[in-house]
Structure 1
C-alpha cells in the first residue's frame, strides 16, 4: 500500500518565504522592563482631525463596501498630493488605494513578476521585500550600497541585464539614507538602458527628511514613467499604523494590473478609514515639516550617544527614524541583539536587512526622547562591556 499523502506539509510558497525571510519571529517584547528601540512606529497619536473624520463617517453610516480600487475622492486626493509635492502631473487613474503600504508592495511584486525573474535589492534595505519576491517565485539579488550609504550605480548597472525589477527604499529603512537627485536619476538611466526593468520605489518616509535636504521622488523619472511604481503609506507621516491604508502610483495600465492582484487578495478597503485618509492629506505642510523637525531632534540625540562610542561607527541618518550603527565586536548581529536585550534595550539585527548588515543593529528613534535617552544609556553600557575585536 502506498503511503498516504501528507496534508500537513506546507505548500511550496510557504517554504520559499520561510527560506528567504530574514525577519524575526519575535522582537523580544516579553523582556521585562526593556525599552524598545526596535519598532518603526511613531509614538504620537493619529491627529485629532483624522480621528474625527473617521468618527463622522461611522456616524453617517459609512460602513458599506467601497469601490474596489479605492474611493474616488481618496484617489484624487492622493494624486493631487503627489503632484503638489513632486512637481509632476498625476491623475487618479494612476492611483490604487491599498491595505497599508505592505499590501501595495506585495500586489506590485505579484502583478509584475514571474517565477524565476531576477530582482535587484540595493541593501541594506527593508527586509519584507525579499519575502514578497519569494512569494512571487522570483529571485532576490542583493546589491550592496557604497560605504556612505549612497547607491553603487556601477554595481546596479552591471547587475541590470535580464533583471525584471529593482526595489528601492527611499528614505532607507534601516540606515536613514536619503538618496540624492543624482542617485535617483542614475536609476532612471539604468531603466532607460534596460527597457524590461521595472522600478518599485518604496517612499514610505518621504515626508521625514532632515537638515533641510530635498527629497527626490522616483516620480520625477518621467522618461521611464511607464516602468516606475511608487508605494506609499499613511502610517509614518500621519501616525496611522493601525489604520492599514496605503497606496501605489504608476502608469494607468500598470495600476490596473496591481489593482487586479490587490482586490483579489484583499477586497475593498474600509470606507470610513478612507474618509480619514482624505482628511490626513489635507493636513498643512507646516505640520509635516514640524514632524521632520521633531524626528531630527531625536536623530541628534541618538548621534550624540553613538558618536561617543569607540566601538561604534554610523552613517548620519538623513531621513526616516532609524540609525544603523556598526559595532566592532566579536559578536554577530543576532548575538548583539540578544546581549542588548539582556541589558534592557531592544533593537533589530542588522543582518535582517541584507548581507552587508551583519555586524550592525538598527535603532529606531520613533519613540519619546526620555525612552531614547534611557535606551541609549543601556545600549552604551552593553557596548562598552563587549570584548572589542583586536585591530
Structure 2
C-alpha cells in the first residue's frame, strides 16, 4: 500500500466530525479539540502538553477538570495567575481572548464560547472540588500539597502560582501589621525637606506620602509620569537615614529595578535628586545612587529558578526601594519578599498603569486596585493631625 505525505498530516475537523465530538464528556475528544486549537494558534503547545500530562497522571479524570486546567495554563500565558471560572462563563471570548483578535483563518472549528455555553459554573466547581488533581485552598494536608491544581472559591490556580500568591500575602500582612517608630521631631524634619505650602488648604501629597511611609515596613509610592515619585522617595530616604546617621548607625539602603534600562534611568534621576537634598553631607553620603537589577540583587543562578539570597540567606540590607514595580511579576515578588530580612523596609515605586510585567501577575496593579476606595484609619488621622 502506497502512502503519500498528505496521508501523514492531521485530518482536519469537518462540520460532521465536529458534531460528533463530545469534549465535555470524553477526554479523548477534548484532547483532539485542543490539538486543533494549538494548530490554529489559539493555545500554546505547552498548554496542551500540560493537560496531556495530567491525563496520564489520572486517566479517568473528568474532562471538565482537563478543560479548566488547559484554560488556566492559557491564562498564565496571557499574564493572569488564575482562571476565574464564573467570569469565564459569563464572557468566554473576552475573558480568554479567544479567538485571538484578527484571527480570520478559514475552516470549521468549535469556539471556546460554544464549548462553554452549556456549562454551569456551580457544577464545574463541584467537579473540580472532587477531583484527585485538585486541592481545595483550605486543605493543608500532605496529600493536598501534592496536587497540581488549587481551587480557591471560584478561581483555579496552578499550585506553583497559588503558593507564590500565599507567600506574598503572608509576607505583606506581617509587614503591614508592624508599625515602625518615627522620630519625635518628624514634623520639623519634613518641613526642612519640603518647601512651605503656598496655600493652607492644598495637601502636599509628596510630604504626606513620606510621613506615612516612615511608619510602615511596606509602602507604595505610585503615580503617573511627572508626579514626583523619585523626588518623594529620595526625601523619604533622607528622612529615614538622617536619624540613623545621627545615632552612628546608618541604614543599609539598596535600590533596584526590574531591568538594566530601568536601573540606569533611576541611577541618573536619583543622583540629581540626592545632590539637591537639604541635608547634611554626612546624610547625603549614606543615600545610595547606584541602582542594580532585581535579579542581580538576589543573585540569580543561571539555568535555575533559584537565587543566592532567599529565606535561608537573607539580603544584607535595612531598606529596599524597587522602581518600576509594575514590571515585577508574581514569582519575582515572592522571591524578593522571601529574601528580605524581617526588619527591613520595602518601598515599591511605579505606575500601575504602565510597563506591565512580562510574566504572570500584575502585583503592583493588584495592590493598588482598591486604593481609591480606601481610607485612613482614625488612628492614622489622629497621628497626622498631631504633625
> TM-score, normalised on structure 1?
0.25
Which one has a bigger Cα radius of gyration?
2
Larger RCO (CA under 8 A, 6+ residues apart):
1
Higher helix fraction: Structure 1 or Structure 2?
A: 2
